[in-house]
Structure 1
């Protein structure tokens, strides 16, 4: 006997397919960006000039270097960002917001995998400056710090913004933007990334979040919930802890 596939199953399948498609599409996109950077003289001059200027601003100032390393490794570091997302996922599971928890975990994981895949496909060397103040292992493009900050801050915003009073909602967006931009600046100033590495990380992070958010919005539409905007968050109902509809509620 044929059984109709419920929205929960369609949501899971769509999320998996969208994540896989984003990962595949990100690699040629990343490669194209690097080819443009290496062949287009104006962008090459921008990369070189920004790296040298920011690097000179910290060269000979150990205190500044320590501050930048604290910001890039502790405050905005990938481990900190991932722990924050993990804490939100646990909280969502406790609130029984199962699909939102799956979305948050999947988005963070997809971001890490896409970044790692792009690095190993592009294999771009990190900057070689005359007097380096910091070192980092692995390849340069895209910036893992920039990409992790982008995906993590987006997840935190889209999940938690409904809990913030409307009058205060611009503040989390400003803090998120400052974190994403700030971590990019620290990576260039420390001489471990080019500007285009950071921009590539931002773009890939936004692409991953956009793709998975569309999948979540499609599920909301299928179960009869209204579409949302980024200003509202992915699931405004989290404020009232409204129970998630089960697959059986939409089947007749």
Structure 2
């Protein structure tokens, strides 16, 4: 009498589930933006001549126009201080957090809040470490506090818009609604950077740094959440 066949044991070298494509793409974007952020940080901290000359040229031209056009300057101040202010961005994040929380997506809600908090800490930490002075004018059209690099307005808007767009896409937003959200997001991120330059409270590389650091954080957050580390809790 033959003994029953025993199924072969699973191979220990069987391929593990692959990392989701979205996580791989986000990870690559995070690596590229992270490298660009570090490079810019080094150049700013070292006071690299060509970058400094470019910053001053942009700042001088925009400040001259801002002084000559008080109406447009006032409009930029309203956009910067109210529409795209960091606290407005944080309010949007809080609303999204509550929506996710009460819909039962509590891990995702917490992840959104954590990403926003990390963004604020990174912004203030880099500002303190670099200690870059803001532009000084004999006839300023606005004022701002803390160090200049990176722009907190630009970084906060980038993190907020980036995370909200990811959440919309993740929940199936498509078609005209998605395109509208994308356009509003791009205009907001680009617009807040322009207002900070027009008002003469930041150098151009400060705004660029805010965009790079913010984009890197969003990509890293998405890559981590979508990757295998959190797959069993989703």
Note the C-alpha offset of 1:62.
2.5
- The residue correspondences of 1:1-252 to structure 2 (distance < 5 A) are 31-35=41-45, 38-41=47-50, 43-161=51-169, 162=171, 164-219=173-228, 222-223=231-232
* Length-normalised TM-score, structure 1: 0.73
The runs of 5 or more residues in structure 2 that have no matched partner are: 1-30
1:26–1:114 Cα contact (<8 Å) kept: no
Deviations 1:11-62 (A, max 9, x none): xxxxxxxxxxx9xx999666414135x2232x22221111111112220332
**Per-residue deviation at 1:154?**
0.7
Query: CA separation of 1:99/1:33 partners in 2, compared to 1, >3 Å: closer, same or farther?
Result: farther
Q: In terms of Rg, which structure is larger?
A: 2
Instruction: Find the counterpart in structure 2 of residue 239 from structure 1.
Output: none
- Of structures 1 and 2, the one scoring higher in RCO (CA 8 A, sep 6+) is 2
Q: Which residue of 1 aligns with 2:15?
A: none
8 Å contact from structure 1 (residues 26, 118) kept in 2: no
> How many residue pairs align between the two structures?
202
Q: Which runs of 4+ in 1 moved over 6 A?
A: none
1:37-90: CA deviations, max 9, x gaps? x2232x222211111111122203322222111000111000100000001001
- Structure 1 CA distance for aligned equivalents of residues 208 and 184 of structure 2: 19
Aligned equivalents of 2:158, 2:213: Cα separation in 1:
9
In the alignment, structure 1 segments of 5+ residues that lack a partner are 1-21, 224-243, 246-252
The separation in 1 between residues aligned to 2:64 and 2:49, in whole angstroms, is 25
TM-score of the pair, normalised by structure 2: 0.79
